[in-house]
Structure 1
Amino acid sequence: MEISLRQRISKKTGRITLYLEIYKGYSKDENGKIKHNREYEYLDYFLYEKPKNSIEKQHNKESLKSAEAVKAQKILEIQNGKYGFSNTHKLNTNFIDYFKKLTKERFESLGNYGNWDSTLKHLLSYTSKTTTFKDISPEFCEGFKDYLLNKVKTKTGNALSQNSCSSYFNKFRASLNQALDDGIINDNPCKKVKGIKAEETEREYLTQEELNAIMKAECRYDILKNAFLFSCFTGLRWSDIHKLTWSKIQDFEDGYKVQFKQQKTKGVEYLDIPKNALKYIGKRGNPEDRVFIGLKYSAYMNTALTQWMLRAGITKPITFHCARHTYATFLLTKGVDIYTVSKMLGHRELKTTQIYTKVIDQKKRDAVNVFDEAFKN
């Protein structure tokens, strides 16, 4: 952030207006065009353009002196933390490097790293890699929010989904909250910026009958079939399935478990693997080897998944993530309490799991409607 004292001549009065220019860095749009972020604060001082006598000359001298004092006070306020920054050294901390550090810390987190990494890429497209905390203002936050909602395009040329925008903006806000906890800033410049509300999406899942059907149906890629069914029986996300190594699958007296390290607590936790899921992981390999070698996220894998579902008589849109929905819905349908399901899914908040209860409620309503259909007047 830079503050400069500027002058502007009024053609109407012939006087020179004094004002402060507050430069808060710049951002870039989707085309790479730079947009500078400046604010202006007009002062209650003016100068005579061509002083005619000693009085006007003295007026100019005193006005300039007063304006310089206001500028110095403004700089001092920033350094003392009035605008959310604790000191000059921390003020100049590189925000992008800080966000990269937070992203890297989440590499082992269940499904969280990908969202942080995507947010980082959007930040690098929106602003400069040299952006510091002194450049992060409420206007910067509003600008990033608008960038996500209205400027970003996917590889197919479509706008980001509302939920993706919500997720990325929340990661940006979380990074500033962390900076607050770390003592880099005294206040979160994003706190007064309204967030992006996530839309409630319909969560497709497979019923027990449909799950039995896809077990019997042929899939072009065995590795895809095994990985998807393993996800159905464990609730693991695509990212966790994809990077799962044999060292994480351990044999205990009471059965096999998948080992995880919780990013927040650094504590080790385990997820039990049902016995009927073990047949989908095959013969144990070396500890560092991936369990599902050859599994890739690609168009042909997605196509193969759709064709597999169609062979099983399933026409609703099913993605790999629907395996996780199937796991959660199946447990709740069979009477497992929501707190236990939440822990098994690795949710930090119970309200995240409660979304699945709406699916169960709908199934109950559908069951009741069977009577209305069977006994129409």
Structure 2
Amino acid sequence: MSKAKFILKEPNSKEETLIYLLYNYQYKRFKYSTGEKINPKFWNKSTHRVKATKQFTEYPEFNARLDKIANGINNAFRKLLNDGIQPNNINIKQALEIELSDHILKPNRLTFFRFIEEYIEESKLNKKAGTIKVYNTVFTHLKEFSKKQNRLIDFDMINLEFYNQYLGFLKKEQNLANNTIGKHIKTIKSFLNEATERGINTNLDFKSKKFKTISEEADTVYLTVDELKEIEKLDLNDIPRLDITRDLFLIGCYTGLRFSDFTQINPENIIDNSIIEMRTRKTNQRVSIPLHKTVKSILKKYNNKLPKAYVNQKMNVYLKEVVGKAEINELIETTITKGGKVEKNTLPKSKLVSTHTARRSFATNLYLANVPSISIMKITGHRTESSFLRYIRVSQKENADKLLTHPFFN
């Protein structure tokens, strides 16, 4: 069992001598100078504290300071274990000095990791399960990095050196894609912003322009109106799982709603059989969307009560099968930077389709049909036209075809 005790540097001295903290743990010993000095004649060798004597009237306060140091080392050691870090003399010293300042314990000071733990618990009360999952994933990687570095990661260590080392860790050790790494950095910055606003963090190095969220344009696809018609024509009556998947996906393609919304349309959301009105789950925005004839047909098929959707992951699997049956197999080259290396693949379009393709298809097809961007953005929820234009998928050829109808080229 780990135990702290105090010893004198020179127990036989006639003058004041330093007091050392000794901490035995896991068959190892940590020695630390407390900075406190005492004449050995006032020292109790049995209790390892100052004697209760009138000759040294400040003994209660002196012993209280030693008790706080003992509590500090115990807290530091326990926190290292709780954070999954193997204690050693270096990180124990770092952890102890976080606990102490001028040998006065600061019990209310939160470390970076402790703040994240408490913030995640707090967020469970008002944030979605998906957000909490992201927080936990980021926290797990931070703890793994800390363990590999064999040191505590605290607020004062979050600087450009940490940033560069952590990027290398996520790329080389975790083999993550650039966009995934970007999400990790974005989340860490959100933790730091929250801690700063609460007065817990005073280190603002993370606000440097060099402490940036990296990203690269993702190779995503959309389905053209003609391709959607081919999917709609499929006879899937004998395969209910694919029939349901196809119908729900098409509703997404013609409403622009996210998976979490287009799978939750109820009869009360249908107004006069001409408009869908609902409040979106992710952004809590109220949207009004005209009913496309395909959506009307599908709603009629189910008497305005859509069937229960499969979970997103399973629906993505079924969806690839549906699009494959529609023979939408144009070869698409994809590029992704993963583990710091550029990976290129060529896949049939059917393998790249997911439930989110529905929303992207809606936005792109309406844009190509010359629907004003602002009208589409009212549904998709994009706040700026620049972010909207990055979202849609228009090839150079499609952009040229669209411009042919512009008065400038006629």
Q: Residue 324 of structure 1 aligns to a residue in which SS? A: helix
Separation in 2, partners of 1:103, 1:362: 47
Q: Return closer, same or farther for 1:304/1:250 CA change in 2, 3 Å cut-off.
A: closer
Once the 2 structures are TM-superposed, how far is the Cα of residue 164 of structure 1 from its aligned partner? 1.8
Please report the RMSD computed on the Cα atoms of aligned residues, expressed in angstroms. Answer: 4.7
User: Which residue pairs with 1:202 in the alignment?
Assistant: 219
Larger Rg, first or second structure (1 or 2)? 2
Aligned to 1:97: 118
**Could you say if the C-alpha distance between residues 240 and 144 of structure 1 is closer, same or farther in structure 2, counting changes exceeding 3 Å?**
farther
Match in the other structure for 1:307? 321
Give the deviation of 1:328 after TM superposition: 0.9
Distance, in Å, in 1 between the alignment partners of 2:269 and 2:204 is 41
Identity of aligned residues (%): 20
How does 1:285-324 map onto structure 2 within 5 Å?
Answer: 291-298=306-313, 301-315=315-329, 316=349, 317-324=352-359
- Cα drift, residue 179 of structure 1: 2.9
Check conservation: 1:249, 1:258, Cα contact below 8 A: yes
Counterpart amino acid of 1:326?
A: S
Amino acid at match of 1:89: N
Cα 1:232–1:262 change in 2 (3 A) is closer
SS of alignment partner, residue 270 of structure 1: strand
In the TM superposition, residue 215 of structure 1 has moved relative to its aligned partner by: 0.5
- Flag the 1:353–1:283 CA change in 2: closer, same or farther, 3 A: same
State the Cα deviation string for residues 198-256 of structure 1 (Å, max 9, x = none).
111222111111111111023442221111101101222234445x2638735369733
1:117 CA displacement: 1.9
Instruction: Give 3-state SS (helix, strand or coil) of 1:105's partner.
Output: coil
Quote the Cα distance in structure 2 between the aligned partners of 1:366 and 1:348: 27
The match for 2:266 is 246
Q: Counterpart in 2 of 1:332?
A: 367
Change (3 A) 1:356 1:118: closer
Corresponding residue number in structure 1 for 2:277: 257
Count of residue pairs brought into register by the alignment:
294
Q: Which residue of 2 aligns with 1:164?
A: 180
1:233 corresponds to 2:254: yes
- 1:157-196 deviation line (CA, Å, top 9, x unaligned): xx33221221232122123223323443334453346234
The residue correspondences of 1:106-145 to structure 2 (distance < 5 A) are 106-107=127-128, 114=130, 117-127=133-143, 137-138=158-159, 144-145=166-167
Alignment check: 8 A CA contact 1:235 1:345 kept:
yes
Verify the 8 A CA contact 1:261 1:269 in the aligned structure 2.
no
Letter in 2 for 1:308: V
Corresponding residue for 2:101? Answer: 75
Distance 1:40 1:133 in 2: 13
Residue 201 (structure 2) pairs with residue 181 (structure 1): no
Q: Is the 8 A contact 1:232 1:323 kept in 2?
A: yes
* Structure possessing the higher relative contact order (Cα contacts under 8 Å, 6 or more residues apart): 1
* 1:255-289 CA distance string (max 9 Å, x none): 331223675xxx6522425243244342355xxxx
Given that 1:248 and 1:260 are in contact with CA atoms closer than 8 Å, whether structure 2 keeps it comes out as no
Letter in 1 for 2:192: L
Question: Could you state the TM-score of these two structures normalised by the residue count of structure 2?
Answer: 0.56
Closer/same/farther in 2, CA of residues 28 and 327 from structure 1, 3 Å limit: farther
Q: Normalising by the residue count of structure 1, what TM-score does the alignment of the two structures yield?
A: 0.61
- After superposition, what is the alpha-carbon deviation per residue over 1:75-116, rounded to whole angstroms, capped at 9, x for unaligned? 37x99xxxxxxx963535632220343465332xxxxx6355
Q: Distance in 2 between matches of 1:328 and 1:122?
A: 31
For the residues of structure 2 that align with 1:248 and 1:145, how far apart are their CA atoms?
48
Which is worse superposed, 270-279 or 320-329?
Answer: 270-279
For 2:319, the aligned partner's letter is L
In structure 1, what residue type is equivalent to 2:373?
Answer: I
Residue in 2 that maps onto 1:274: 291
2-structure distance, mates of 1:262, 1:241: 12
